Chain A
């Protein structure tokens, strides 16, 4: 059992390192097509990373080891997400159950590392990005926790793989109002968490509108590669989680070649589908003002809170 779980974790790790750049490539491609361009092809993120790894990073004078360690921390926290979340299978390592609060705190480690990278060189834009990034992160956290709390009530535990397993066995749960409200809230929170529109515009060149981009302005070469890969992995992993919560079918519950194949294909399909939806959806969205973001998050927070209380009071 333990070995099976570790094997699944390894499979998820390797597969998502392969999948994440592809997802980003797909999102960009969809956007390009809808904007009337040919697009760089779905493999472009791969080429970007390969190139960045070959370059000699430049460090700002007076910047510290944070500029080297921060990106690695971001990457590792995202990799931990990929290893622990129930993506390909719902088996979880006995000593490290993919507990909701642990997962969220691992995510926050990455968030903090990124914010410190932004501050390290001591440039104006870095600080600006870092400040905005942390503000959004602080406001997102309640929504994320409450949303998954709402989802956890039917399963009676905060272990994500059990939650997904429960939804797999009793699909009726998925359509319950609680779950619907919670999923909407969670989706919004994830958009904010991964810096997509309408909270942050990942493809902006205008520093004043940046959050994530502004923090990585000083990073180059390998450091930049880790940062980018880290954020892509996070996006892919969270999309995978969303997909498995919304449609848990295909996720494996026991280890066998056949089920592994099915699990991989299923999660890839879900993530890529969500990626396409995301790319297409972003065409129709504009970035909201930074100070309208709290409204958005308050909205999703309200939905999540309603979901939780309702799930207690209705049943």
Chain B
């Protein structure tokens, strides 16, 4: 029994203990006790994953009372990486939850299901066969649904969101079931290793590929199966949305990576192109929706769609590049995919926790009613700011490193040895760069809006009472932000570890340079954000000196009203809101977003030429939802009505059905 086995066992045990504690201890100490216990469960995951990454091997076999083979868990290095990522998010979330959870979100059920939710998420990457994979997957889905329902008593929207969510997660489960089923049928074993070793690009393989990618894509929140994200996240308690949006989508990404790196590796070109298309569309669509949204948590949810889109774009690019002979670039793209996932987990957790802190302090997540929180919540604003920089892929954060690697992989797409570039590459790679660039640009606007409107300027409604959140919440946010910065300044170690989890064409993919920079010799690129930061710091010095020479008597800063043209003092209502901030963008992308505007002009009674008041309302709805899902649902409903007629509850009718069925079966058997 190795340390890894012990670690996995420990996770199961700890999760069960947590549940027991959450059930038993009195409400007064429940939050603290079960929060700490959850954190320990997650910590066990971190340790186990780290051991796996360090090269320790081990497997855990659980014989259940189910009519299936015993569950086998044997994490690969990739699985270990994801175990670390997911469970570190779990730690942050649990600690934050101690301070945050209140009301129904702090009830027994919530804490218990949180424990199992974390456990399931940590064990999915460890699963060694499709059965245990699917079991853990479904556990994850169920627990998250329960957690999502936590506040259903307070708000009606919660239940509708939960319905959407469970529908989508069941859909993805069925797809995965089908996919794994096909694979098991073709290979003759449910063991993932066996499937991976006997890879088949037969039509069956293609079918399995499509099923699996769509299934994982829906969990990762890709277009067009993303609709659950923007509904679930605002309704769930914030630390739960953090867990879902940072950790659970990473599980989806893990699935896709597993398919492309382990199960069906070296797939044909069209697989890669298909993934690239899905990813690219999701990235652009997600960030567009995010940029025009004013509800902070919905905005973050859409940006999750964007980031996962980028991850899939990278995965697809890697497949395409490998297919067309640019192996070094292909490895770099895969590295980018992994780095994007890691970085997204870190900063998105921090962002959602920040949103939770704002909600906790002001009871408000609508940006149009926030403002001026920088002075009231310095810690939150700092952590949120760093994470937002990462989300906008600015240096010196983790997001920048990830996107940099991705872009480098794109532009080094010409195959080794001067072979002619295939048409697919020469069209797909430029478009890829364009998509990443556009996404990055829009993300920049989105998060400048989110940060600037929420933290800068003046309060847009009465949050004058807002104050900084309890210390546990601060700690978890700040730790997240520090991690984002650490990966951003010293990407070397992280990139090396990540690269060690991939099947590489040439070892090693990444070298460390300087303090903690990365260089990818395969495509001959180098990045050392640390050195960049040092240079920036060095440049600050002469400025300070100049200031001291030119104006030694430090000009004293006077204070005055915000300049409002000298007229009546500029009121907070006159400020730009999040909605007005995004208005130009809505116009620019009018054809894509199709916003619904209605203008009501109320004229004065005396004359129709004098206007009393003009009311403008503009709403941007999710096109895919209104154009794709609504019709489907209506169809389903009408069909349901039809079916009801056959179900009028008369026992004779049912007997008749079964009799008919019997006859049919007999006929079938006879013929």
Residues on A close to B: CB < 8 A?
Answer: 13, 50, 53-64, 66, 72, 75-76, 79-80, 83, 93, 95-97, 99, 101-102, 105-106, 108-109, 111-112, 115-116, 119-124, 126-128, 130-132, 134-135, 137-142, 144-146, 149, 152-153, 156-158, 217-218, 221-222, 290-291, 294, 301, 305, 308-309, 312-313
Contact = CB atoms under 8 A, between A and B. Distances in A.
Nearest to B526: A97
Nearest to A115: B448
Interface in B369-386: 371-372, 374-375
Contact of B452 (A13, A130, A146): A130
Nearest to B423: A313
Given A58-B558, A95-B513, A138 B445 contact: yes
B448 A112 contact: yes
Interface in B581-626: 581-585, 587-588
B411 A138 contact: no
A291 B587 contact: yes
Nearest to A144: B437
Contact of A123 (B374, B442, B524, B564): B564
Given A56-B558, A63-B562, A141-B441, A290 B575 contact: no
A200 to B, nearest CB: 13
28 contacts: A57-B555, A62-B372, A62-B562, A64-B375, A80-B535, A96-B532, A99-B527, A102-B404, A109-B394, A115-B448, A121-B457, A121-B563, A122-B371, A123-B562, A124-B576, A127-B575, A138-B291, A138-B445, A141-B438, A142-B434, A142-B441, A153-B411, A222-B555, A291-B584, A291-B587, A294-B588, A305-B431, A309-B430
A308 B560 CA distance: 52
A122 B372 contact: yes
Interface of B is mostly: helix
A131 B580 CA distance: 8
A76 B535 CA distance: 10
A59 B555 contact: no
Query: Which of the listed residues A145, A291, A313 has the most CB atoms from chain B within 10 Å of its own CB?
Result: A145
Of all A-B residue pairs in the complex, the 10 with the closest CB atoms, nearest first, are A127-B576, A122-B457, A312-B426, A138-B441, A119-B452, A141-B441, A142-B437, A60-B562, A308-B430, A122-B458
A152 B412 CA distance: 10
A301 B435 CA distance: 12
Given A54-B550, A57-B558, A122 B580 contact: no
Contact of A80 (B407, B536, B575): B536
B539 interface: yes
Contact of B457 (A127, A134, A301): A127
B576 A119 contact: yes
A15 to B, nearest CB: 14
B517 A95 contact: yes
A127 B427 CA distance: 39
Contact of B527 (A102, A126, A135): A102
A188 to B, nearest CB: 15
B440 interface: yes
A59 B559 contact: yes
Nearest to B575: A122
Given A58-B558, A140-B441, A145-B437, A127 B581 contact: yes
A217 to B, nearest CB: 6
A187 to B, nearest CB: 18
B408 interface: yes
Interface in B398-456: 400, 403-404, 407-408, 411-412, 414, 421, 423, 425-427, 430-431, 433-434, 436-438, 440-442, 444-445, 448-449, 451-453, 456
Interface in B484-539: 513-514, 517, 524-528, 531-532, 535-536, 539
A269 B21 CA distance: 76
A138 B444 contact: yes
B584 A135 contact: yes
A141 B436 CA distance: 10
B456 A120 contact: yes
A132 B551 contact: no
Nearest to B443: A138
A96 B528 CA distance: 7
Contacts of A135: 445, 584-585, 588
B462 interface: no
A153 B555 CA distance: 50
